[in-house]
Amino acid sequence: MKIMISYPPLAGEGTPTLGQNRQFQWFHNPSFIYPMVPASAATLMKEKGYDSIYNDSIAEGLTWEQYALELARTASLRSEDPYHAVGTALLRADHTVAALGYNGAPPGVEIDWTDRDKRRKFVIHAENNALRYVAPGEVALMASSMMPCWDCILLAATYRIPRLVYGEELDSTVYDIPLTKRLAADCGIVLEKI
Ligand SMILES: [Zn+2]
């Protein structure tokens, strides 16, 4: 099983601190105590053979956008695509996670992943797989491990996504990147590589 234990980059009155004994409180001064219980859980799971990721956004100073991108990258771990494993995370305005998705086959369809060109026709993109769980207007931030393609930009526009961040650039041998970026701007989506 692939699992991520994460401490989101909360913002509020002071510095969010997760104590060694799991207690949460706002501190006046930044104080980074190693949270023993969740961190030990991540280590124990790794020792039991699970793919476990420990992500402390507070100690690492991650922004919400970087946090969302980390979630997207974690979702991509589930992709079977040997060429491009892509993940997408959708956050609401209050920073709660609305949905995650990764690129894969439609239900009941077997894809020959070894055929690089043939597989492309069957793969449902990560953005599409994540967006089908949300309502238009529900999402404030979309993060994809790779820049979304033309079709996924259009799809994001139909869900009224205002902001989209991504990690890697698209494969320029397959996609027209400048044109895709212009489409995002035309759709009113603020697209940024972080
Ligand atoms: Zn796409």
Strand duo 163-168 + 2-7: pairing: unpaired
Are residue 10 and residue 85 in the same domain, yes or no?
Answer: no
**What is the pTM for the complete model shown?**
0.82
Are residue 108 and residue 159 in the same domain, yes or no?
Answer: yes
Are residue 57 and residue 67 in the same domain, yes or no?
Answer: no
The total number of residues written for the chain in this structure: 194
- Does the pLDDT of residue 140 top 80, yes or no? yes
Residues with Cβ–ion distance below 5 A, ligand 1: 125, 149, 152
What are the backbone dihedrals phi and psi of residue 48, each rounded to the nearest 5 degrees, phi first? -85, 5
Are residue 90 and residue 5 in the same domain, yes or no?
Answer: no
Rounded-to-integer distance, Cα 171 and Cα 193, Å: 14
The stretch 108-120 carries a mean pLDDT of 78
Structure tokens, 76 = 């991509």
Are residue 117 and residue 178 in the same domain, yes or no?
Answer: yes
Structure tokens, 47 = 């020792």
Q: What is the residue range of 45's domain?
A: 1-61
What's the CATH number where 104 sits? Answer: 3.40.140.10
Tally of domains within the chain: 2
The stretch 38-42 carries a mean pLDDT of 86
Are residue 15 and residue 96 in the same domain, yes or no?
Answer: no
Ligand 1: centre distance to CA 103 (Å) = 9
Ligand 1: centre distance to CA 62 (Å) = 26
Are residue 45 and residue 90 in the same domain, yes or no?
Answer: no
- Does the pLDDT of residue 15 top 90, yes or no? no
Contacts of 57 (CB under 8 A, 6+ apart): 6, 7, 8, 9, 66, 67, 70
